[in-house]
């Protein structure tokens, strides 16, 4: 029996992007146990994954979870986060480990000096390059998401006109500069040939209500704040297509092989974290403004546009987003 610990502390999209690795390790290493270490608030993302033996969640203090991990007697640690805290875990466990290079220097170069030395590869493909010494190969089946059987009938909570086809607008985003502005949502809503389901947290509820008021002729349901992540995932699974920014729900949509339109603000697909559907690339539309000298302005995001114009989002042409329908 070989016991392997994967480490990735956050966040939604980043954890979903690890799922091809989880699946490959479980299927390709006979008689193995695959464990995962992440922050407690993200455990739900992986809790229904059948390829995982156990998930270890922690809040702020790593001491207690490190003691628990020591008792597991792992044979190998695969560190997909590679920061001070993941290094602390590896040092304390004292077993063989391999760590992923997140290319932070290369990202710094393109953000600050606009020098692009990033490889033209998705992060998932780079994960498997790291795993080559173990003989682990990418099956190219893409991402996984398992929302759980209890959410299988969540669609029944939607109005009658949503029981056939609908499009999801994923309103949420961690940073302002990665969020699609209201003006663009409104423009796309008026173009939609399908009912629109708005998904996001309670922080997007007011935005959803405003969008409903401005699109009276459209069938719009504001689900923001009404569904948890796994319920939202189940609703994405039933959707005809998903429109999203560079967010965790974008990666969940990719896991379900959904027609996905992703709008990019301050971040860029070259960071290697665009929708991953290696066998269904025709389902992906990426909209970005490649003509801005200021982009990318951050590898993460800001609470406001540093230049004050937000042209990376405001200048996007969204007139053809529904061409896949």
The pLDDT value recorded for residue 7 is: 99
C-beta neighbour count of 113 within 10 angstroms? 8
Query: Per the domain annotation, does 58 fall within a domain?
Result: yes
Residues 174 and 307 in one domain: yes
The pLDDT value recorded for residue 60 is: 85
Phi and psi at 216, nearest 5°, equal -65, -25
The pLDDT value recorded for residue 308 is: 96
The pLDDT value recorded for residue 149 is: 86
The pLDDT value recorded for residue 61 is: 86
On the CB side of 156, how many CA atoms lie within 13 Å of its CA?
4
Q: Please check whether residue 48 is in contact with residue 146, taking contact to mean a CB–CB distance below 8 angstroms.
A: yes
Query: Per the domain annotation, does 121 fall within a domain?
Result: yes
Residues 74 and 165 in one domain: no
Residues 171 and 277 in one domain: yes
DSSP string, 185-233: HHHHHHH-SS-EEEE--GGGHHHHHHHHHH-TTS-EEE-TTTS-HHHHH
Placement of tokens 């992703």 in the chain: 262
Query: Per the domain annotation, does 324 fall within a domain?
Result: no
Q: What is the pTM of this model?
A: 0.96
Residues 170 and 295 in one domain: yes
Q: Which stretches of the chain drop beneath a pLDDT of 70?
A: none
What is the tens place of the pLDDT at every residue in 180-194?
999 999 999 999 999
Residues 59 and 88 in one domain: yes
Structural domain of residue 26, as residue ranges?
2-134
Query: Per the domain annotation, does 140 fall within a domain?
Result: no
CATH of the domain at 18: 3.40.50.2000
Strand partners, 7: 37, 79
Q: Please check whether residue 283 is in contact with residue 142, taking contact to mean a CB–CB distance below 8 angstroms.
A: no
Residues 270 and 219 in one domain: yes
Domain boundary among 76, 110, 134: 134
């Amino acid at each position: 029996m070989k016991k392997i610990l994967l480490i990735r502390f956050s966040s939604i999209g980043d954890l979903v992007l690890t799922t091809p690795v989880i699946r490959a390790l479980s299927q390709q290493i006979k008689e193995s146990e695959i464990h995962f270490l992440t922050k407690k608030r993200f455990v739900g993302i992986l809790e229904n994954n059948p390829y995982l033996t156990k998930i270890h969640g922690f809040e702020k203090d790593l001491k207690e979870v490190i003691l628990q991990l020591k008792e597991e007697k792992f044979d190998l640690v695969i560190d997909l986060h590679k920061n001070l805290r993941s290094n602390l875990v590896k040092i304390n466990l004292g077993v063989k480990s391999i760590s992923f290079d997140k290319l932070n220097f290369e990202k710094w170069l393109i953000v600050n000096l606009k020098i692009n030395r990033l490889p033209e590869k998705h992060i998932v493909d780079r994960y498997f390059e790291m795993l080559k010494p173990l003989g682990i190969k990418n099956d190219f089946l893409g991402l996984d998401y398992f929302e759980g059987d209890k959410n299988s009938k969540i669609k029944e909570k939607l109005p009658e006109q949503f029981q056939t086809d609908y499009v999801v607008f994923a309103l949420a985003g961690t940073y302002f500069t990665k969020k699609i502005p209201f003006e663009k949502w409104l423009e796309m809503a008026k173009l939609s040939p399908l009912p629109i389901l708005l998904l996001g947290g309670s922080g997007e509820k007011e935005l959803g209500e405003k969008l409903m008021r401005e699109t009276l002729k459209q069938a719009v349901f504001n689900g923001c704040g009404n569904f948890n992540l796994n319920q939202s995932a189940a609703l994405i699974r039933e959707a005809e297509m998903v429109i999203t920014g560079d967010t965790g729900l974008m990666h969940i949509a990719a896991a379900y092989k959904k027609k996905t339109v992703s709008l990019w603000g301050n971040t860029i697909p070259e960071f290697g974290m665009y929708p991953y559907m290696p066998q269904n690339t025709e389902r992906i539309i990426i909209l970005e403004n490649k003509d801005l000298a200021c982009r990318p302005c951050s590898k993460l995001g800001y609470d406001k546009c540093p230049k004050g114009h937000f042209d990376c989002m405001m200048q996007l042409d969204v007139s053809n987003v529904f061409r896949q329908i």
